[in-house]
Structure 1
Amino acid sequence: MKSLTLLAISAVAAKASAEPIRPNHDSAKANANHIFNAIHSAGRQWGSSLNHNGFGFMPVTLSAGTLLYHGGYSKDPPKGLEWLAFEVEHAENFVRVVRHPPIPPKTPDYGEQPPPSPPQKPLGQLETDDGPARDPEGRVRGYLQTYQTTHDVQLLYVDGSGAAKSPIGTLDSQDYVLFPNSSWEWYNIQGEMKRATAMCDMITKWGWAGIMRMEIGYEVIWCDFKSDFLHHESSVRGFIPEDRLKDEDFINTYLWTRAVAERYDGLGGDRVKVDFSSMVSGFFFPINISNTDPERPDLIRLKAATLEHRLDIGAYLRKDFAEPRRFNVNWQGVVDMIVTRFSKRLAAMASTNVSTDVFIGELERAVLSYYEAPSLPDDVTLTADDGKNKTAEAIDRCSTHYLKFTQLSRQNWTLQDDLIHTALSAVMQHICNDLFLMRSLLLQAAPDTSSNAYFINKNVNNDEMDKAVNQSRAIVRNLMDELAWTTWKKPQLCAENEVLMTPMWPFGNSEDYYNPGCVPFNEITEDRRSYWKPHEKRPRDF
């Protein structure tokens, strides 16, 4: 009897273990910072370059009228599958004049460490047996082809640097989730063509037109150039480099890089709309994401998940993307509001260039916006219980403030919307809890000041206050490390204790108009308004 019971338990356990994994809120909470950053970086060159190992798949709509570019050896449109670039300079890099056009070589056996490929596969078609047409000197001209979408078009967006041919995890979402049984080499054009063909075979069954990925610039793998959704605008023949006065090798790379760098904060032009309500991310699932390379523990990878789990994610994705587009909430807009509210504030608070007074001012303004003041003039402090309740209410207001907008469409939310909300709520709860913790430490450091008082006593100058400020700065730095916003890696025009100043009525001096620049915090006062009232002697009247 006992053995039968054990067998029954084993059978139930085996059945349970065979159940496919599904997205869940516990995973969304555990990976909240990763989900937040993935949403913030979607469609943006800066964040997607730094968080290059993508974990997400998102349906995107490519707007009607969008211009796309293709560089190749023919003036005629490609047949079947080919690559398009969002930027002219990206495609121009492959509008080349060559004496011996490249033929895809037989892949040599490099063992475990093959050499890196060029920065990008050719945007031009692979060579035919006859090869492209050559002039009498054996040169082949390149052509810049311009295309325009005739309708809104559906694409599959693979986030991170999904077009980077690299073994460090950039291709994991494609090679280990979409096609976990693949054996494509990461370092050659043949493997890339097989990868693109497999993705096109998958998404064209859904009625979608292509795949959007990022390397040095965003690209579209367009699955069929005979599509009615793409109009061939023009083909412009390229010039022969020898005809230039001086041909510097670095110019093309420099111009290409600069053009792409203009898209650090987004593709612009309202060209792409991301359906976050249909987003499928490995961060939603209970999987292992630790890196498989002990020398780069910072690089999380989808490859670390078990084959069974990766198969489950792929199956879930294929089923979910068969559903209509939703666009319930622009979650990136919500994330942007949070980042622009707190990014520079936290950076200033973490900096030793910022004085204690300014640190306290930054903190108080961040928390007291959500703290309700006493209703009576003589009610300066609160009882302990009331103070505790007020603080809990304030933290709740702080953590839910930027998410209130999303509630308007809650009745239409998908599971993905709900999971994203869980992740963003966890991030905001973390930020707000830490802010109020710092406030509590500083209040307690001030003598004769209740921990439930509203304002921190800035006139206190003792070891306890110094210790509290140092502890608070450490909390900020730890918070920034955990949040890992890519804005903090971007070089800033101004230091942490400065603001880029222009005349913004009623404030601003003449120098702010004629020579806008970085102005220290302590020089930005209510008296800074000479530009608007050069002859006014009462600067506070407005």
Structure 2
Amino acid sequence: MKCKLHRVFPLLLVTAAFSLPSGRPYPNGDGLHQAAFQVHGVSEESFLEWELPPDPNSTHHLIFDSVSGFLQRWPNTFRRNGHSIVPAVIPTGTVLYHGRDDNHVPDVPEWFAFDFEHAFLFGVSTCYVMSVQAKRDLRLLYFDGASAAKMKDGPMDTQDFVAWRKPRPDKHFSERERINALCDWGKPFGVDGFVRMEFHFEVMICDVLDGLEVVTLLDLIPKNVTAPYDRPLVDPPPRPPSRPAPPPVVPPAGWRGSLPGFGRIRFEAHVAGGWHDLAPGETRVQLDYTGLITFYDPALSSLVEARQGKDKSNYRLKGLSAADTARVHAELQSVLTRKQGTGSSVDWGSIARVVVERYADRLEHLRSLLSPNATFKDAAEQAFTARSLLVVMLAPYMTIVDVPQRLPASANVSWLAPVVHRCATTQTSRIPLGMLTPQEVLIHAAVENTLREICRRLALLWVQFFDVEEADDAMAAEVIEEGHRHIDELMNWLGWSLWVRCEPACGLGENCYLPSWPFLKGDDPYDMTPRCIIPEEAVRE
């Protein structure tokens, strides 16, 4: 059987030295990922024994989930504690916004918003908003997750790791110290700033006068910060003791009627963040996947132990050993100093989204069809309906010879090995490994191994549903129960944020909300139950 499989679908076999097809060693092997494909990739044996589950300590699906959600607010709100650092560029001509209390152009590192609504929150008794335009490409680092959430238990870990080599929960409000430390660290590498996210994306710019040109600097209508209103997003962040309360707001001469209410302004800033909830996300930042640094790298063994027994939402960098800290800092330095243009031009973000788009809705639909609460006249009809969707999902990979030699189909499942192989590798098998950086090799392996588990589970279902139409009602019910278990376990393993949403969908003028700093609604900021919020509740004055 092995010889036949070699002939039908040859695999790209990579040597233990991680060589180019010519046998020459990989030119960009910067220490962390030698032999990476052999160690982390999908091996030939994994398809010959395709029914075996993934290693329980595998992080491929976690890397995949990070990559598929980069620069999208919803998945990064759902998983606050980011684990990735990615080189990025804000292109020439991009407009950013900065709100402040005076009309000075800052000559120190400062925070900029991508949308006016976010910047308009800042400035109180006077409200100046400056719009600036990038006069050259700005070189940045992107921290995924809700990396601007001033919380002690993980969201700021990645940037603190860069600034101070360890998480600093004691400094979660020390933003001026943090931006200065990051900019001091990044200056030798030509880093202009850092991209983060709270309820919206923002940019920390190290030298405003260098890469930006002022377009406008306007003294805008002041906000009425003292008007009473019910807050669906509860209290604003605590005011530092050194900052005095704002003076009373005086309307401009000749103004009639009420001033803009702070509650409504806050709501609209949250709405603007929602413009970037899902793909394509915040498009004004362009990521360089060839330099992705991920703390889900399985080579970081100290974090494997730290994740044991924890929910994904509670994974963080606490527990990273000194040795692993040193090797990631060395990898980050290597990425930022190597020759421009190193690596491939593969759009890994799009590849990941293709996978999510293909399977997210169908897996959810299949789970609903197999649910004990599904409405069918009998188990036979339910099994037939689920089987038809299963065929749709596997059809691109099943040929006329991919059928069992004898029944029951489960007697020997080797007949499904080619189907699982095609299903798992179609997106990646012809990407030349020699053109990838070690960081891209991790993404390549993450895509293949995530797909392998999706395809493995679907194939296990197909074994059961292959001849279910000939089964009696009792056997069909048993197959349905087993199928529901498989899909439920698969979806829990994947943990995609697309399956977390407001149901029923929010109406016009409403906004679907997940707890995001500083708007942590309710007693439990970790209750990720989405809910609809409406502006009328925020501006009832």
> TM-score, length-normalised on structure 2?
0.70
Q: What's 1:66 paired with?
A: 94
Q: Is the 8 A contact 1:45 1:261 kept in 2?
A: yes
CA distance in 2, matches of 1:457, 1:181: 55
CA distance in 1, matches of 2:395, 2:258: 64
Q: 1:388–1:184: structure 2 CA closer, same or farther, 3 Å change rule?
A: closer
Give secondary structure in 2 for the equivalent of 1:366: helix
Q: Which amino acid aligns with 1:391?
A: L
Q: Which amino acid aligns with 2:195?
A: M
Q: 1:293–1:221: structure 2 CA closer, same or farther, 3 Å change rule?
A: farther
Q: 1:31–1:262: structure 2 CA closer, same or farther, 3 Å change rule?
A: same
Does 2:35 correspond to 1:22?
no
After superposition, residues 138-537 of structure 1 pair within 5 angstroms as 141-176=126-161, 178-180=163-165, 185-188=170-173, 191-227=174-210, 229-240=211-222, 241=224, 243=251, 244-245=257-258, 248-266=261-279, 270-284=283-297, 285-289=299-303, 298-323=313-338, 324-326=340-342, 328-351=345-368, 352=371, 353=374, 355-374=382-401, 382=405, 390-404=415-429, 407-408=430-431, 410-443=433-466, 456-458=467-469, 460-491=471-502
Q: Which amino acid aligns with 1:336?
A: R
Q: 1:72–1:253: structure 2 CA closer, same or farther, 3 Å change rule?
A: same
Query: Structure 1 residue 295: deviation in Å?
Result: 8.9
CA distance in 1, matches of 2:365, 2:194: 40
Q: What's 2:27 paired with?
A: none
Query: Structure 1 residue 435: deviation in Å?
Result: 0.6
CA distance in 1, matches of 2:166, 2:144: 21
Query: Structure 1 residue 442: deviation in Å?
Result: 2.3
Q: Which amino acid aligns with 1:148?
A: Q
Q: Is the 8 A contact 1:176 1:303 kept in 2?
A: no
CA distance in 1, matches of 2:279, 2:487: 28
Q: Is the 8 A contact 1:72 1:95 kept in 2?
A: yes
Give secondary structure in 1 for the equivalent of 2:318: helix
Q: 1:156–1:297: structure 2 CA closer, same or farther, 3 Å change rule?
A: closer
Q: For residues 135-175 of structure 1, what are the alpha-carbon distances to aligned partners after superposition, in whole Å with 9 as ceiling and x for unaligned? A: xxxxxx12010011122221011111111111111111122
Q: Which amino acid aligns with 1:67?
A: V
Farther-moved stretch of structure 1 (322-331 vs 341-350): 322-331
Q: 1:93–1:466: structure 2 CA closer, same or farther, 3 Å change rule?
A: same
Q: Is the 8 A contact 1:350 1:473 kept in 2?
A: yes
CA distance in 1, matches of 2:499, 2:447: 19
Q: Which amino acid aligns with 1:89?
A: E
Q: Is the 8 A contact 1:63 1:270 kept in 2?
A: no
CA distance in 2, matches of 1:96, 1:231: 24
Q: Is the 8 A contact 1:372 1:390 kept in 2?
A: no
CA distance in 2, matches of 1:233, 1:282: 39
After superposition, residues 26-65 of structure 1 pair within 5 angstroms as 26=39, 30-65=58-93
Q: Is the 8 A contact 1:328 1:409 kept in 2?
A: no
Query: Structure 1 residue 460: deviation in Å?
Result: 3.6
Q: What is the Cα-based RMSD across aligned positions, in Å?
A: 2.9
Query: Structure 1 residue 476: deviation in Å?
Result: 0.2
Higher relative contact order (CA 8 A, sep 6+): 2
Q: Which amino acid aligns with 2:130?
A: Q
Q: What's 1:519 paired with?
A: none
Q: 1:412–1:177: structure 2 CA closer, same or farther, 3 Å change rule?
A: same
Query: Structure 1 residue 389: deviation in Å?
Result: 5.3
CA distance in 2, matches of 1:182, 1:476: 37
CA distance in 1, matches of 2:314, 2:169: 21
Q: 1:68–1:413: structure 2 CA closer, same or farther, 3 Å change rule?
A: same
Q: Is the 8 A contact 2:143 2:158 kept in 1?
A: yes
Runs of 4+ residues over 6 Å off in structure 1: 292-297, 384-387
Give secondary structure in 1 for the equivalent of 2:427: helix
Q: Which amino acid aligns with 1:286?
A: L
Query: Structure 1 residue 345: deviation in Å?
Result: 0.8
Q: Is the 8 A contact 2:90 2:285 kept in 1?
A: yes
* Unmatched runs of 5 consecutive residues or more in structure 2: 1-29, 42-54, 225-249, 252-256, 376-381, 506-541
CA distance in 2, matches of 1:269, 1:217: 10
After superposition, residues 118-133 of structure 1 pair within 5 angstroms as none
Q: Is the 8 A contact 1:162 1:214 kept in 2?
A: yes
Larger radius of gyration: 1
Give secondary structure in 2 for the equivalent of 1:428: helix
CA distance in 2, matches of 1:154, 1:44: 20
